[in-house]
Amino acid sequence: MVKHRLDSLCHGLQLEFSDRNLLKTAFTHSSYKNEHRNDMTPDNERLEFLGDAVLSLCVSRYLYTHYPHAPEGEMTRMRAAVVCESSLADLAKQLGFSYYLRLGKGEEQTGGRERASLLADAFEAFVGGLFLDQGLPGAERFLADYLFPAFDRMEGSSRKDFKTVLQEYVQHRNLGDLLYDTVEEKGPAHERQFRVRVQIAGVAIAEGVGRSKKEAEQQAAQEAMRSFEER
């Protein structure tokens, strides 16, 4: 049954895995492994870890190559807007990945098959498995067909702002509560200046300055994303 399902998936995506165990692993959730100790297929957490790195590299190279005039901050925003939990989960749904997931009974009963975090993880694990099976060219071919077009559909006015990008980044990695705190307000009414500090899980990450709180928050969020990129 599992083999038949995987055959159907490969046919629909017009690709082939030399090592079907990698494909099977990509869709095996830890809850399934906990209930099927005799199944020798590992869960997808290690593949997800690898796939996250492969995805970041492939997307970064695509943006660098196809948007030669985009500054670093713009490329960071574009990447974060597409490679975030909600976007990857939506794409996983479109590709029918939820149908192929192997879940434990408890996860199944609580709606795990439609859970965004689980679907996004499966997508990353799939990319990781594809990388191991076919190398970077294989992963990039797949992403060129199904993920990269999302960038070309973007228009400047619809690209997400830095606060949205930072919020999705923090939520996807479960880093903790995100808070903006106005730490200084100075200047006359017509030339007001605000200084805002952004904190994650109670830790100050970055600051921003602007003529309004909104502008200062955007600047703080941009600096926070820059600090994450440099780590």
The answer to whether 52 is a known catalytic residue is yes
| Furthest CA-CA distance within the chain | 72
What one-character-per-residue DSSP string does 138-180 give? HHHHHHHHHTTHHHHT--GGGSPPHHHHHHHHHHHTT---EEE
CA distances for 166 relative to 56, 160, 182, angstroms: 16, 10, 18
Pairing of strands 193-200, 178-186: antiparallel
The C-alpha atoms of residue 154 and residue 217 are separated, in whole angstroms, by: 23
Contact 172, 152 (CB under 8 A): no
Amino acid present at 72: E
Of the candidates 48, 52, 85, 107, the residue annotated as catalytic is 52
Contacts of residue 2, Cβ cutoff 8 Å, sequence gap at least 6: 24, 102
85 is a catalytic site residue: no
Residues 6+ apart with CB under 8 A from 209: 193, 194, 195, 196, 216, 219
Catalytic-role residue among 124, 140, 168, 217 = 124
Please give the positions annotated as active site: 52, 124
